[in-house]
Structures are given as structure tokens and as C-alpha cells.
Amino acid sequence: MNRIAVYPGSFDPVTNGHIDIIERAAKIFDAVYVAVIRNPEKSPLFSIDERVGMLKASLKARKKIRIDSFDGLLVEYARAVKATSIIRGLRAVSDFDYEFQMALTNRRMDPSLETIFMMTDYKYSYLSSSLTKEIARLGGSFEGMVPPGVMRKLRSLKERGV
Ligand code: ADP
């Protein structure tokens, strides 16, 4: 049986916390689709192509991992790629309410799709995409927080005056 999972998110930008979840999920599933949400309510800083590009550069040569993007309902995307599980990462208690609501909503729409939560590594428990963008704006160091390609991209933000 092919066990396929979808790991959806904004990935604006991808951090080492995301990479850790993706690599751990790839040990459990035959294929993991990292699916960048095209149209999230929060207006992203990076374009869809930039977000997909940063993920591809950070995860190249990983056979089980596919980078994709989607629009619309997650349950429909999951069905289209024949996924049976949705992966989400959990950091602090503050993640819980939103994740709980999303998981129950998705289950209501498709009971055959199971949401699986993976606990962050303690090294990344404080880390979020927003934090890296804030550090980039202030000109601080994000050593160890994001993959090298993302680091370059974040540094260029300051040069672009973003
Ligand atoms: P979304 O906008 O859908 O929350 P994100 O890109 O912020 O998208 O996050 C995607 C998923 O990764 C979420 O489940 C989030 O909780 C999880 N995540 C984000 N940062 C980390 C981290 N540092 N460690 C573990 N999981 C994380």
C-alpha cells in the first residue's frame, strides 16, 4: 500500500522547523507532498514561485518528497494526489486552537482523511516564518533558523528595502 501524506502550509518562507517535520514525515510515509497554499488569508511576503523555489532548493535529492502548490480546499487537493493523511506541526499550546479547528473541519469534509500532528523539535519550538521575516527586517542573524538559500533570500529583502 502506498501511504501518501500532504503537508500543507504557507511556507513564507520555509524554516528549519518545517524541514525537520518534512524529513521526519518522509520516514513514516512512502511519499510526502509539501503543498504550498496559493491563496492564504494572510497576504504572503514571498510569491508562490519564490516559496516553492525555496522549498525545492532546500529539499533537493529527496526522492519521497514532492513540492507542489494548491488552491481551494485541502481535502480536494489531498484526494487528487491520493493522500490519506494530512501532516501538521505543533509548537506551543498557542498552535492548538487553530489546528484543532482545522483538523475537525477537514475531517467533517472528508472522514477518510486523518490529520496527524508531529511535535516540533525543541530546537525549533520558538521558530516561525514571521520571526525570520522580522529578524530580516531588523538586520539580525538567522543562523540555524532557515536553510542557506532562504537565508540569502531573507538578506536580499533588506537590500530591496522590504
Ligand atoms: P500555515 O499558514 O498553514 O500555518 P505555516 O507555513 O506557518 O503555514 O506552517 C505550516 C505547518 O508547520 C503548521 O502546522 C505549523 O504549525 C507548522 N510549523 C511551523 N513552524 C514550525 C516549527 N518551528 N516546528 C514545527 N512545526 C512548525
The per-residue pLDDT for 106 is: 97
17 lines ligand 1 (CB under 6 A): yes
Query: What is the rounded distance in angstroms from the CA atom of residue 153 to the CA atom of residue 50?
Result: 9
Phi, psi for residue 63 in degrees, rounded to 5? -60, -40
Catalytic residue at 141? no
The per-residue pLDDT for 161 is: 65
Low-confidence ranges of the chain (pLDDT < 50): none
pLDDT in tens, 69-107: 999 999 999 999 999 999 999 998 888 999 999 999 999
Query: What predicted TM-score, i.e. pTM, was given to this entire model?
Result: 0.95
Q: How many CA atoms lie within 13 A of 25 on its CB side?
A: 30
Percent helix, strand, coil in the chain (nearest 5)? 45, 20, 35
69 SS3 class: strand
> Which residue type occupies 36?
V
Hey, which residues does 55 pair with through a beta bridge? none
Nearest residue (by CA) to ligand 1, atom 1, is 9
The per-residue pLDDT for 146 is: 97
Nearest residue (by CA) to ligand 1, atom 10, is 9
The per-residue pLDDT for 63 is: 87
Residue 103, Cβ neighbours under 10 Å: how many?
17
Helix axes of 129-138 and 148-159: crossing angle, nearest 10 degrees: 40
